[in-house]
Structure 1
Amino acid sequence: MDALVTTEWLAGELGKPDLRILDATWFLPGEPRDARGEFEGGHIPGAMFFDINLISDKTSPLPTMLPPADQFAAQLGALGVSDGDRVVLYDDAPHHTAARAWWMLQSFGIDAALLDGGLAKWKAEGRPLERGTQPVDPGRITVRPNHALVRSLDQVRAGLGGHQEQLVDARSPARFTGQETETRPGLASGHIPGSANVPYSSFFNPDGTWKHPTSLRLVLEDEGVEVERPVIATCGSGISAAVIVFALHLLGHPAALYDGSWVEWGADPDTRKATGAA
């Protein structure tokens, strides 16, 4: 199974016993939409709801952090996923949050695919929807944490100035430069020094499908990112940074994600901050 699958392909695979479809729609706090409620109102047949808020480290003061391995295995298994299953992820969110769920699975050694265009494209094509939540038999999944895909604050701070790994920030230019004030209390504005700014929206066509790999490369290179060199992706809270990681995956280059991202870095009085353009 390719890392990016089409709606046509998925429609032809519906009902196959080894196929698991997960809806990873997520919205920012304060956004006037209810991800779970929308899932209940209509989703791709056979899909289960992958709750990014629930499937997170509840011991961390930071939002949506990667959970412990045993918790992740239990919660993914509760969605019916077992070893050997083909997992397809999609969303119906402007932040393309299925990429975050994909990175989470990858971080635990589990392969998955993204549905190109997500639920919006599926619905635009008049494909079937299902309401409510159907019962599912629990699965058993083996997790193998891949620490190479995750970075902590200390790891990012230790690498500043060394130029071994490139920092690429997926937030909007206004947030990156500090022109837009952060709404979270106690959070500074700006970005991690030395970061490039490549907004996550840059990777998509107007219909929400992913750009061709040639264009993905140009999006990154136009902002000074060397695709062949190691990358650490960042954003506000580790959600949209996964778009950068997936884009590089499509180009054949694994990248790491700083899970705490600006919510952690910007709130720490001891970290260096920068404002203005890259």
Structure 2
Amino acid sequence: MPQTDPKTLVSTQWLQDHLRDPDLRIIDASWYLPGTPRDPLAEYKAAHIPGARYVDIDDLSDHRSDLPHMAPPVEKFMSRMRTLGIGDGHQVVVYDGAGIYSAPRVWWLFRLMGKADVAVLDGGFPKWQAEARPVTDDAPVIRDRHMTVTRQNQMVKDVTQVAAATKLGDHEIIDARSRARFCGDEPEPRPGLRPGHIPGSRNLPYTALLNDNGTLKPDGELRMIFERAGIDLKKPAITTCGSGVTAAIVNLALERIGSTNHSLYDGSWAEWGMYGDLRVATGDN
């Protein structure tokens, strides 16, 4: 797969070349862990890629759940996108202020809703700014656009499905958290969660998939990283992390290398680590 592909990943040059395309829609999906001293909305208002709309993934979520930013109901997704002027026939490009961090979560949400013409900006806003590409503080002109959504239920897993997968061993469960958190050697950033990981899961920190400049590693290298982590790419994959954000980076990488049978455990460790009746493993096992 070429490094630029409008269904997965596009370069900063590709985006600049297409900025004036009438059916291009750009989303700033910046989000940071609680306690991080950054305000993504304030940063967006100060400077963003021309035409970009801001999406708050905490708002674009299911508020009926006590878990953080779970995937929203279809109706809420459609409503929020219509408010942003995003609909059928649009090519969507998502970026964030960390390079590649939270943007893949929104890419995954679009895929969950059956929308394929969506890509992550490789290197995100930091790379865009480092290359002195155009930025603005102007709000975009927004016109309503109808959106048709067909939810792809196979792309998301709940706790019952993940628990079954741990017993059957018929999926590769890939944990995108740091090795210290996976092993249980470091406390979780969210209070009240047990340390450790889902039994039978494999650790592949999302940072291993990225270059130092925040871009995604080339496809051939990604494949080798998965294989070195002991992941059988012939099996269907379930990704997980702390709360379902950085897990989507693994989904994006899997899609890039043609391993398309993947889903995301939306509750992730925020859910699994909370319930005492779910088994937890520590160390490398």
Shorter-chain TM-score tier: over 0.9
Q: Compute the RMSD of aligned alpha carbons.
A: 1.1
Q: Aligned pair 1:269/2:276, yes or no?
A: yes
Q: For residue 42 of structure 2, what is the amino acid of its counterpart?
A: G
Per the TM alignment, residue 3 of structure 1 is displaced from its structure 2 partner at its CA by 1.8
Per the TM alignment, residue 194 of structure 1 is displaced from its structure 2 partner at its CA by 0.5
For each residue in 1:127-173, what CA deviation from the matched residue of structure 2 results, as whole angstroms up to 9, or x when unmatched?
01010423311221111100111000011111222111110000000
1:95/1:240 contact within 8 Å kept: no
1:39/1:132 contact within 8 Å kept: no
Q: How does 1:1-278 map to 2 (within 5 A)?
A: 1-93=6-98, 96-111=101-116, 112-254=118-260, 255-278=262-285
Q: For residue 101 of structure 1, what is the amino acid of its counterpart?
A: V
1:100/1:240 contact within 8 Å kept: yes
**Tell me, what secondary structure is at the counterpart of 1:167?**
strand
Per the TM alignment, residue 18 of structure 1 is displaced from its structure 2 partner at its CA by 0.3
Per the TM alignment, residue 110 of structure 1 is displaced from its structure 2 partner at its CA by 0.8
1:23/1:47 contact within 8 Å kept: yes
**Tell me, what secondary structure is at the counterpart of 1:233?**
strand
Unpaired runs of at least 5, structure 1: none
For each residue in 1:220-271, what CA deviation from the matched residue of structure 2 results, as whole angstroms up to 9, or x when unmatched?
1111001221100000000000011000000112210000000000001110
For each residue in 1:82-128, what CA deviation from the matched residue of structure 2 results, as whole angstroms up to 9, or x when unmatched?
10111011111266110000001000001211111111111111001
Residues in 2 aligned to 1:183 and 1:125: alpha-carbon distance in whole angstroms: 33
2:171/2:236 contact within 8 Å kept: yes
Residues in 1 aligned to 2:12 and 2:63: alpha-carbon distance in whole angstroms: 34
Residues in 1 aligned to 2:114 and 2:213: alpha-carbon distance in whole angstroms: 31
**Tell me, what secondary structure is at the counterpart of 2:167?**
coil
Task: Give runs of ≥4 in structure 1 deviating > 4 Å.
Answer: none
1:89/1:113 contact within 8 Å kept: yes
Unpaired runs of at least 5, structure 2: 1-5
For each residue in 1:159-201, what CA deviation from the matched residue of structure 2 results, as whole angstroms up to 9, or x when unmatched?
2221111100000001000000124232100000001000000
Residues in 1 aligned to 2:159 and 2:92: alpha-carbon distance in whole angstroms: 30
